[in-house]
Amino acid sequence: MKVIFDTAPLYWKFPSGISFLVERIFFELVSQNIRGVKYSGINMGARFISKIIYRPFKSFWFPSKVLMPSLKFDYLKFFFKCDVFIATNHFIPETSAIKLYYLYDCIKLKHPNEMNVCYDVEYNRVIKLFNKSDFVLTCSESSKKDIVDYFGDSKKIFVCPPGIDHQFYESENKKSSYLEFSEFDCKRPFIYTCGVIQLRKRFDWSAWLVNELKDIDTLVISGAIDKDGESYLNEIRKKFKATNIVHLGLVSRCYQKILYKECSLFIFPSLYEGFGMPVVEAMAVGGLVLCSDTSSMSEIVESEDQKFIVDSKKDFYNKASYLTGLTDDKIKNLKKTNKLNSQKYTANNVAGIFKKIIEKIEKNNNYNL
């Protein structure tokens, strides 16, 4: 079975969660020889996908300037000959393959202004892809509900969550590398959060929390940033002058893993997430987490002590105070539980979910892949 997965839309400026998702799922499918899958990835983005250690398959990159004119030529029809084509928000070619549209979330419809899109244009674009596809994939039950709310349930919608990098489950004893490159006094307790610097991520809430907490005065943030993000972050710094706010920009996966482990608390007060990958990653390394109880995050985190009411700063503060004030034994037990709960999202388990989806498609539609 040959599968082609388009891994990043043209317009994305930052490294995408879907790109990582593709690599994780298909590494497992190939390495385990599940259904004899042969995978070809196509990065439709204007940048190259970050290199990942485990990559026993081909991945092709089309720069945007080359891709668009090339779509007019017949030779690409030959390239798209496959059993399954999975599109991730870009386009679906004319092919006889089973076409699955991976609609990760509905963020652009929920927050069109922040995402700098026209609601009507985005809605019509997605509808066209929706209609061209045979089936729809998404990353969480929450995203599935959003898709049904916006587009109805005329298509069969399957849920396949992202998988966690193998390195998040490997032991890490290189604390010195973390200390060498830190831009803050890492011997002092700090709160960590991450993500593209956008309003919906509510970094102002993160700064407010650190400003209110006792014995913690440093907020560490990692993630991509643009001009709007810089303005937003500067406003936060002016408002919370007593808080030491450190923005590290994009960091390596290894560095991020150590930040998850060494912080006093990983917080994720986002208003909306198709799938809260950072929360799962923090849990996977045995971190202590606190996230809002909205969208997919309510599915990921089982402990009520590690979720706060999304629109309540009081609950946010109370839960953070409780978690940072726990005894070492209680923190150890909570971290152990987090690590166990995160294992349902290992790349191996996600590959098994994807395998079952393919089997359901075969069985219910008389396909022979």
Shared domain check, 324 and 293: yes
49 neighbors 190 (Cβ within 8 angstroms): no
For the chain, give me the number of helices (H) and strands (E)? 15, 13
Residue at 50: amino acid letter = S
Cα-based distances in Å from 164 to 222, 231, 257, 263: 18, 32, 12, 20
Shared domain check, 110 and 60: yes
Shared domain check, 316 and 187: yes
Per-residue pLDDT at 333: 94
Parent domain of 222: 167-343
Per-residue pLDDT at 79: 54
84 - beta bridge partners?
Answer: 3, 98
Q: How many CB atoms lie within 10 A of CB 171?
A: 6
Give the total number of structural domains in the chain: 2
List the structure tokens of 64. Answer: 């945007």
Cα-based distances in Å from 361 to 81, 91, 102, 287, 358: 19, 21, 15, 37, 5
Q: How far is the C-alpha of 253 from the C-alpha of 259, rounded, in Å? A: 10
Shared domain check, 219 and 102: no
Per-residue pLDDT at 224: 85
Closest CA to 161 of 299, 363, 362, 302: 299
Shared domain check, 359 and 339: no
Model confidence, pTM? 0.83
Q: How far is the C-alpha of 142 from the C-alpha of 16, rounded, in Å? A: 19
100 neighbors 262 (Cβ within 8 angstroms): no
List the pLDDT tens digit at each of the 369 positions of the chain: 666 666 554 444 444 555 555 555 655 665 655 555 555 555 444 334 444 333 333 444 443 334 444 444 444 555 556 777 777 766 777 777 888 888 888 999 998 988 888 999 999 989 988 988 999 989 899 999 999 999 998 888 999 887 777 777 766 555 544 545 566 666 789 999 999 899 999 999 999 999 999 889 999 999 888 888 999 999 999 999 888 999 988 887 778 888 998 899 999 999 999 988 899 999 999 899 999 999 999 999 999 999 999 999 999 999 999 999 999 999 999 999 999 999 888 877 887 888 788 888 877 766 554
Shared domain check, 312 and 256: yes
Shared domain check, 84 and 16: yes
CATH code at 272? 3.40.50.2000
Question: 3-class secondary structure for 180-194?
Answer: HHCCCCCCCCCEEEE
Shared domain check, 209 and 102: no
Shared domain check, 224 and 76: no
Shared domain check, 230 and 92: no
Q: How far is the C-alpha of 74 from the C-alpha of 81, rounded, in Å? A: 12
